[in-house]
Amino acid sequence: MRLIKMIDKITIKRIEDLLKDGKRLDGRKLDEFREVKVETGVVTKAEGSAIVTIGKSRVIAGVKIGLGKPFPDTPASGVLMTGAEMTAWSNNEFETGPPSPAAIELARVVDRAIREAKIIDLDKLVIEVGEKIWMVFVDIYTMNADGNLFDAAALAAMAALSTAKMPIYKDDEVIRDNLKTNLPTNGKVVSTTYIGIDGKLLVDPTMIEEKALNARLTVGIKDGNIVSLQKGGKGGFTDEEVETILDGALKHSKKLLKALK
Amino acid sequence: METKPDYLIKGGKRLDGRKLADWREISIKTGVIENADGSAQVDFGKTKVIAAVYGPRELHPRHLVMSDRALVRAKYDMLSFSVEDRKRPGPGRREHEISKVTAEALSSVVLTEKFPRAVIDVFVTVIQADASTRITGLNAASIALADAGIPMKGLVVGVTFGKIYDEKGKGYMAVDVFKPEDQWGQADIAYAKSYNDNKVVLLQMDGDVTKEEFLKGKEMADKAMEYTYKEMVKALKGKYEVD
């Protein structure tokens, strides 16, 4: 059961009032991203891992690479699987249990950006055509949730993948000690999320700002091209707003790429 | 490690260089999850566990409500990439069992009668597993509860011990087992006490030991427990120290 919090209602009203003067609750400019921090190699048991912090939002992503059988329709291709969990310990409003629709959307949006940007060379992950391939699992968990989990999750997944090492397949065994070879990847994808509140556009929303949103748009960008889009929320954007968001996303993507290094 | 090693101890040294009574390096940090009411990360060597406490708060589902005290509810889980082979996300039978014994151990110290009808949620998440995860998690949970300001009789503190073999197959009791010892050793024992009243609040074992071996291991574990307790108190006090 979810209770409507009076404090949220009051805060949302405050957010809307401040926006009329072009201000945000945390003092940021409308088009200002929070501080972004990327740490890699945080879990040595994983083939790749990263913790990404955006303001007070923090997520951890890890990559495990294991043996599998290819899908019948793609016998000469490895498999990428992306999962996300909005953990009950990352916020007092998230609940335990099977993944919520929001968590599934989060995983799918991150997956789409990575897949469409062709970050992983799935063709190079084949051991025996039609029989044996490498399966790359990227799992993302929220550690402290304060909005814009899309961009944090995408960044963490990207950082974990681009630092991931390949296990070795030898005599029917998977060896994971002292791995040297990188997972074959091509370039980097990042995402930028904007929300619309009363006709104003805000980048990198906090959780309470997300509660006030009319509409949300997440833009995945690789090499200055748009590779994925996800619109959310019950409201809409005008044509001009969409264009403004794309311009903003292109601008912010450069900074996010720098954070990835 | 895929194949059974010839020995887990040789010349008085374990595979990671420790002696039988040595524990791994312990690191404790409090307040690691800002959104939580209390939290802690505890590392025993490469085993890293985060505990987050939310509550006392309203309890759902309603049928669990107790009119005279709070429910202490624990959820233990592991990140899919915390182990060698990817673990399927979400708790399985093992995780549910550990959650249960963790909640029971913590309930022994929390003054639940102070918060009738409420729940105190304790989330224990293994970030990286190198054995002793339930005990590391229990220690983290105990600190997180204190960090959240939940009234308690004292801290719960735990240590593992086990039985490992040398190149001739002779068994020895060892403190704070790590992965190869947990996997290949003859016994693995999780042991925790409510430290102030010196009562055993968690005890689980699988393996094969004599009564004498068990008591010897327990005695060794008590020393490690004393050290762990001091480190836990230090970490909690550290939060309030001013430079």
At A177, the pLDDT band (50, 70, 90 cuts) reads confident
Cis peptide before A75 (omega within 30 of 0): no
Q: Give me the mean pLDDT over the A71-95 stretch.
A: 96
Chain B interface, best mutation among A45, A91, A173, by max B CB count within 10 A: A45
Please report residues of B whose CB lies closer than 8 A to that of A143: 33, 50
Helix orientation angle between B133-147 and B93-107, rounded to the nearest 10 degrees: 40
B27 and chain A: CB distance < 8 Å anywhere?
A: no
Give yes or no for residue A78 having a pLDDT over 90: yes
Residue A28 has pLDDT above 50, yes or no: yes
Domain B9-238 is of which CATH architecture?
2-Layer Sandwich (3.30)
Residue of B nearest to A176 (CA): B84
Question: In A, which residues are within 8 Å of B127 by CB distance?
Answer: 42-43, 60
**DSSP character for A145?**
-
Mean pLDDT across the stretch A12-16? 95
Name the residue facing A139 among B34, B89, B130 (closest C-beta).
Answer: B89
Contact flag A88-B82 (C-beta cutoff 8 Å): no
B35 closest CB neighbour out of A42, A49, A145? A145
Lowest-confidence segment of A25-34, A149-158, B156-165, B233-242 by average pLDDT: B233-242
Model confidence band, residue B1 (pLDDT cutoffs 50, 70, 90): low
* Contact in structure between A2 and A91 (CB atoms under 8 Å): no
Inter-chain contact A144–B35, Cβ cutoff 8 Å?
A: yes
Length of chain A: 261
- Determine the residue of chain B that is closest to A95 in CA distance: B60
User: CB–CB of B149/B101 below 8 Å?
Assistant: no
In this predicted structure, the answer to whether residue A157 has a pLDDT above a threshold of 80 is yes
Q: Which residues from A are below 8 Å from B75, CB to CB? A: 88-89, 96
Q: How far apart are CA A97 and CA A89, in angstroms?
A: 12
CB B39 within 8 A of CB B52: yes
Rounded distance between C-alpha atoms, residue A118 and residue A189, angstroms: 9
Q: What's the gap in Å between the CA of B120 and the closest CA on chain A?
A: 12
Mutate to test the interface with B, among A39, A89, A163 (most CBs of B within 10 A): A89
Answer yes or no: is pLDDT of A209 > 80: yes
Interface of A with B (CB under 8 A): 1, 3, 42-47, 49, 56, 60, 62-64, 66, 83, 85, 87-92, 96, 98, 137, 139, 141, 143-146, 173, 176
Chain B hits for A173, CB-CB cut-off 8 Å, are 2
Q: Using the beta-carbon criterion (under 8 Å), do A1 and B50 form an inter-chain contact?
A: no
Average pLDDT, chain B: 96
Residue-wise pLDDT tens digits, B133-179: 999 999 999 999 999 999 999 999 999 999 999 999 999 999 999 99
Check CB contact under 8 Å for B33 and A46.
no
Q: How large is the ipTM? A: 0.92
pLDDT of A128 strictly over 60 = yes
Shortest distance between the Cα of B92 and any Cα of chain A, in A, equals 12
Alpha carbon of A80: minimum distance to chain B alpha carbons (Å): 14
* Domains parsed from chain A with CATH numbers: 29-260 (3.30.230.70)
Give the pLDDT confidence score for residue B3 in this predicted structure.
84
Q: Which residues of B touch A146 (CB under 8 A)?
A: 35
pLDDT at position A178: 85
Among B57, B81, B121, beta carbon nearest to A64: B81
Give yes or no for B117 touching A (CB within 8 A): no
What was the pLDDT predicted at B241? 82
Percent of chain A with pLDDT over 90: 92
- How close is the nearest chain A Cα to the Cα of B242, in Å? 24
What is residue A5's predicted lDDT score, i.e. its pLDDT?
79
Whole-number Å distance between alpha carbons of A165 and A46:
9
Chain B from 147 to 206: CB within 8 A of any A CB? none
Strand partners, B207: B187
Predicted local confidence at residue A84, as pLDDT: 97
**Mean of the per-residue pLDDT values for chain A?**
95
The pTM for the full model equals 0.94
**Position A132 pLDDT exceeds 60:** yes
pLDDT at B137: 98
Give the residue-averaged pLDDT of B193-220. 97
B33–A143 C-beta distance less than 8 A: yes
Instruction: Provide the phi-psi class of A148: left if phi over 0, else alpha when psi is between -120 and 50, else beta.
Output: left
Chain B hits for A141, CB-CB cut-off 8 Å, are 79, 125
Query: Cα A132–A133–A138 angle (5° rounding)?
Result: 145
Gap between the Cα atoms of B113 and B70, Å rounded = 6
A193-220 mean pLDDT:
97
Model pLDDT for residues B63-93, shown as the tens digit of each residue: 999 999 999 999 999 999 999 999 999 999 9
| Closest residue, chain B, to A97 (C-alpha) | B90
Q: Do B123 and A85 count as a contact with CB atoms less than 8 A apart? A: no
Minimum CA–CA partner of A46 in chain B = B81
The rounded percent of chain A whose pLDDT value lies above 70 is 98
Higher pLDDT: B33 or A261? It is B33
* CA A158/CA A161 separation, integer angstroms: 5
Q: How confident is the model at residue A1 (pLDDT cuts 50, 70, 90)?
A: very low
Name the closest residue on chain B to residue A90, using Cα atoms: B35
Answer yes or no: is pLDDT of B111 > 70. yes
Chain A nearest CA to B127, separation (Å): 7
